[in-house]
A = this chain, B = another copy of it.
């Protein structure tokens, strides 16, 4: 554990000399004290995210790198005293990006542009393809283009995404990536290039999955697809758009070379571990994140930090005594390429009731808002949590929590969900780019996350009544709370 940029190591070492389980006067650590201590001094979360980004690096779903990531995470959980640590395997169809990622304007303004393939992209072959680029300012404009109007062309799709604290412009701009290539293919395009769905201005494209439909209309991210698709960095997209303005109608010709491959069926897995509760028969508190990343970055913000935060929270809660309920961490596999781990976990465990689900998968900046989906059905508990996190600058909200990608099991069970909303203002500067590296994490904000999670998880894990309704629960066996 070493934190080069901010000198956190020395500070943490000093703080660790203070006793944790007691205050030196003989009384046990309370949950509030554990959370307060985490705010000042947590080292678990940083150690996790520093470790996995440094010792494992990128963890593309279904590859040996993701498997190394799972093995590393299991070793970390075991070393920190988690029980029932396991890797629950599942099979998936695995796409990898290949070696050649090149875009080049060949006329009228010859120059290279920085591009990376979208997840699910087909290959152009190593010799690439050359075609005229047709520009669309939005998905709506592409949708309005006549049938067959893109035959033999490369579609370029722009958008106008701006940073938002709640990340909501991802929904506004995201379709350019999610469905743009499919739309362009339907109109005859031989390939699609998008302006990265992001908010930075660095030469690092934002990848991410794109979805194509089969002949029967069904979709499957990450399967072989009929057209190549890539994302230009924001500066390159701006440059391409200026070329259109300066070309005076001359065709913009692009040579595109992307060589992704489909590896067929490989094995991924979900890593789980537990802080076992005093009454394991009660439905557990499920804390989720994902262990995979895209190939192009070590996944610090997305989602090494999230796994570090939830693991740290579980350990910090334990410092205030063994919780009533089991706290289970789920480091889901293969999230980025289609939530395969989340689906596999739900399919395997749908009959085992979860008490409440929470996920951390939105970077490492501070939590600013608390939401649940039981504000009306269990107003007492919702209110107690809201009151408890106010001291960390976290506001209550009437928004209804819906949970993150790795909480499929809780949604499938119709269970209780909490969202601890993080500040996403700079999240889409980094999301799915090579720039998602450890140095982007602010240790102070990371610790605020851990403190809030410690506080919330501690309350939940010591709740004897149904989290969703407040009704009394039988002590055993576990049943659905709803």
Which residues of chain A have a CB within 8 Å of any CB of chain B?
A: 2, 4-5, 50-51, 53-58, 65, 68, 105, 108-112, 114, 201-204, 234-236, 238-239, 241-243, 245-246, 297-298, 433-435, 437-440
Nearest CB of B to A114, in Å = 6
Chain B residues lying within 8 Å of A203, measured Cβ to Cβ, are 202, 204, 297, 433-435, 437
On whether A238 and B435 interact (CB within 8 A), knowing A58-B112, A201-B440, the answer reads: no
Chain B residues lying within 8 Å of A108, measured Cβ to Cβ, are 55
Nearest CB of B to A431, in Å = 14
- Complex CA–CA separation, A112 to B58 (angstroms): 8
- Complex CA–CA separation, A198 to B438 (angstroms): 18
Chain B residues lying within 8 Å of A246, measured Cβ to Cβ, are 2, 51, 54-55
Nearest CB of B to A319, in Å = 26
- Complex CA–CA separation, A4 to B242 (angstroms): 8
Chain B residues lying within 8 Å of A234, measured Cβ to Cβ, are 439
- Copies of this chain present in the complex amount to 2
Contact present for B202 and A50 (CB under 8 Å): no
Which chain B residue lies CB-closest to A68?
A: B110
- Complex CA–CA separation, A297 to B474 (angstroms): 66
Partner of A110, one of B50, B57, B438: B57
* Pairs A–B under 8 Å by Cβ, sample size 26: A4-B238, A5-B238, A50-B242, A54-B242, A55-B108, A56-B109, A57-B105, A57-B112, A57-B239, A58-B112, A65-B110, A111-B298, A201-B437, A201-B440, A202-B202, A202-B203, A202-B435, A203-B434, A203-B435, A204-B204, A235-B435, A235-B437, A235-B439, A236-B437, A238-B438, A239-B298
Nearest CB of B to A98, in Å = 13
Contact present for B239 and A434 (CB under 8 Å): no
Nearest CB of B to A243, in Å = 6
Contact present for B435 and A242 (CB under 8 Å): no
